[in-house]
Every structure is written in C-alpha cells, then in structure tokens.
Amino acid sequence: MGSSTLSFGPFLYDPATGSLRREGKPVATGQRPAALLGLLLEAEGRVVTKADLMERAWPGLAVEEGNLTVQIAALRKLLGASPDGMDWIVTVPRVGYRLPRQDDAAPAPAGPQPPTVAVLPFVNLGGDSDQDYFADGVVTDIITALARFRSFSVVSRNSAFVYKGRSIDVREVAAQLGVRYVLEDGIGGMFAFQDHITERVASTVEPTIEIAEIQRSRRDRPNSPAVYDLYLRALAAIIDESIENNAVAYGLLQQALVIEPENPMILSHAAWALEHRIAMGWPRLGKDDAAECVSLARRGLQHSGGDPRVMAHCGMALVQAGKDYEGGMAVLEAAAAANPNDLFVAACSGTAALHCGDIDRALERLHRALRLGPRDPDARFSLTAIAMAEVIRGNYEAAISYASRSLALNAHFDPTYWMLIAAHAHLGHIEEARQFLHALEAIAPDVTLESIVAGQPAKDPRRFAPVLDGLARAGMRARA
C-alpha cells in the first residue's frame, strides 16, 4: 500500500497517528491542533466549515467558537509563515478556514486540467421544512449523475451544502471551493431541469462526452414523479442508518417498484437496504431477506446499463448477502473501472476487497475514497473499513482514530462501534470498550456475536476474527 501521509511545504502529516514532521524532524503538536490540521489537509484546498472543525477537535462536545479561534491561532504559530510570507491557513470570513494546495498559487500548467463543478443546494420555495428532503434529494441526485463523467470532478454534497440557506456571491463561493463551475437554482420542470443541467455541463466542460452517457442518466432516473418522490424519501431514510428508518426506506422502495419494476436505481437501492440490514444483523423484514436481496441485485444489474453506482450497490449485495465472492468482486471491479472518481464506488470496492481480497489493495481504494470526500456522509464506510484493516493488523490506536472520525459523521453506523469496541478491548481499555458496547446496544438492542457473524462475508473467516475476538473480550453476548 502506498503511504497515506499528507504533505505540504516542508511538512509531512500522518493522519493515522496525528504526528507532524518538518523536513524530517518531529514537530510537537497538541491533539486538537493536529486534528484540525488533518481535516484541513483532507479537504485538499477547499473550505472547511467551523462546525466541521469543531466536531473534529471536540467530537460530541458543545464548545464556544472562541476555542476554535484559539486552536487555529496556535496552529498558525506552530507552522510559521509559508514561502510567500503569508499564513499557511486562510480564514474564509463567516464560513471557516482552508489550507490552500501547494499548486494553488503556481502558474497554470501548459496542458488542460480537468475542471471541477459544484452544485449548490436549491431553495425550498414552498417554505415547509418537512419538504427539504425533496430539494436536497434533487441536488444529491444531480451530483451523482454528474459524477458519472470522468472528464471533470464534482464537489461532494457536504462541501456544497455548507452554503445552504445563505445569501451568497457565486463568484466568492467558486473561489472558496476552488471550482470553475457553480450550478444553482432551477429551470422549468424538475426532470427537464435535470436534463438541462446534465447536458449543459457536459457540453460546456467536455464536448466529446458521448451522448450515451446522458441517455443513461435519463434511463436510470425514475420516469414517474411519484416514483421519484418515493425514491428521495427512501434515500433520506436509509442514510439515517437506524433500524426503523431502514425498514421505512425499504417499504418506500417496494412501493416504487410496483410502479417501475425494472428501474435499476430503485432495484439497487432496495438491494442496498436489505444488504445493509443483513450486514448489521438487524431483525428480518421477510421470510428470506438474503434471497430477496440477491434477486433485487441481479435484476438491478440486468437493467443497469453499466452505471457504476448501481453496480456498486448490487455487487456489495452479492458479496454480503449472497456470499457470491467471485461474482460480487467482479461487479465491483467493473464499477471501479467505470468511474474511479466516485467515492461511494471506491468505498464499496475497497470494503469488499478488505473481506475477500488483498488488504493493501483494499486500503488503496479506501484511502482514495476518503480523499475524494473526507466529510461526505458516505465517508463513514471508508473510515470504518480502514479501522477494520488496522484492527486486523494490530494497529489499534490507528483503528480508534479512524473509527472516531466515522462516529463524528454518523452516530448510527453499527460497524463503527464494532471497531471502537474491538480496538479498545485489544488495548486492554475494557471500560472504554464497554462504554461503546452500551452505546451500540442502545441503537441495536438485539446485537450479538452470532448476528454480526451471520451478516459478514466468510471467504476467509480468519479475516474478521480479530474484530470478533475484541467484541467478545468486551463482553458482547454470543447469541440471543
């Protein structure tokens, strides 16, 4: 595996240990300045909000904003001046901070560079906050559609949603995000608007993009506004990661499939909901959730048209629920080849490789996914999988670091707790391990070693054994 350290100027930062070196010599940093520096580096030049920085430095705690100002000042003093005599860390008024990439101020290279696009959150003109999911879901859907194109990159949802509800200057936003194109507001009807966005950006950014890509975008999207509404409501529910909302999401997707039974996006998300439920060891929704999950995945692949995200969801379903390791891995490899710049695809292929393939290759994919969107909600998959790899290798402190970052993104993702419990138990921190076990039992009261094992790939049972051993040491029940 290549090094996962991050460099800038004369500095080298190791995110696993939070250590900093200047020209090879250690630099003494406190825990919080190191955490702040790590997040600024992961953003790769983009702005990081004050809220995200405070969550990284003080996870789960309510602190005054002045504390962040003090820590940033300490970090600036520690780093000193950059070669141009300015601070390394730039303040973005009323928003947060950024650490510009080294090439930000450098002359533009001779050859054309792939541009970056940001899709800003839409305004909910209805004023009903309960309908925000729809406006937010449309933006998420457009970002996903644009991510299919390999000739430009799209800013992650979380980075763009920093500006939700604010009066903004588009040019200022473009500068803060480091993008060339900013898309905002709406034109005409909903579906016509999505087509306009996709076609306009494609024609502006890369005239040679084949029209087949746009046609695929149209084909994969629901044709019925009612189905689209069901899909967006299901997406909001499934991302919550709770047992109850997972069931709600699956029910909504089943309603959508009654109307459009061959829609690959709906099929793949229904497979995802069941696969996720099986992997977590949650109570069943039907007589044979695993068989239904595999059936949905195979139907999704049949109609996927080569869409990487559909393939990623379905490939994971084959690996996790169907135990079809060779078939599932082949699908995931094809998805990664189709779009290596999609963080969710990279996370899925990396996680599957962690269970069924080479750990070094898995970590390369997972770290790539993390670089693509360090604060995106989907980053919990990569962070937790990296934590699992570190547990497997006996690097328990590093495992705790990655799992803690995942917990800060989503406190309902069961595997994050598995890694925190196991790593602390292996280090002999039994009290801390049991605290995380109690937190897990609060959101998944039926969790047992047996239920977890049943939902995990078992191509090589020894691969997951260190996690199970740590869970057992902490006192997790063997069976119900």
Could you identify the residue written with the tokens 């046609």?
A: 215
Pairing of strands 116-119, 181-183: parallel
Per-residue confidence (pLDDT) for residue 18, from 0 to 100: 82
Q: How many CB atoms lie within 10 A of CB 292?
A: 18
Per-residue confidence (pLDDT) for residue 425, from 0 to 100: 97
Phi, psi of 8, rounded to the nearest 5 degrees? -160, 130
Per-residue confidence (pLDDT) for residue 262, from 0 to 100: 93
Angstrom distance (rounded) from CA 2 to CA 8:
17
Per-residue confidence (pLDDT) for residue 182, from 0 to 100: 78
The token pair at 363 is 């970590």
Q: Which residues contact 415 (CB under 8 A, 6 or more apart)?
A: 279, 280, 384, 388
Pairing of strands 90-92, 96-98: antiparallel
Collapsed DSSP state (helix, strand, coil) of residue 151? coil
Per-residue confidence (pLDDT) for residue 475, from 0 to 100: 96
Per-residue confidence (pLDDT) for residue 44, from 0 to 100: 79
Model confidence, pTM: 0.62
Question: Which regions of the chain are under pLDDT 50?
Answer: 1-3, 103-113, 187-189, 201-220
For 429-459, give one letter per residue: b (16+ CB within 10 A) or e: beebbbebbebbeebbeebbbebbbebbbee
The token pair at 347 is 């996370």
Per-residue confidence (pLDDT) for residue 91, from 0 to 100: 83
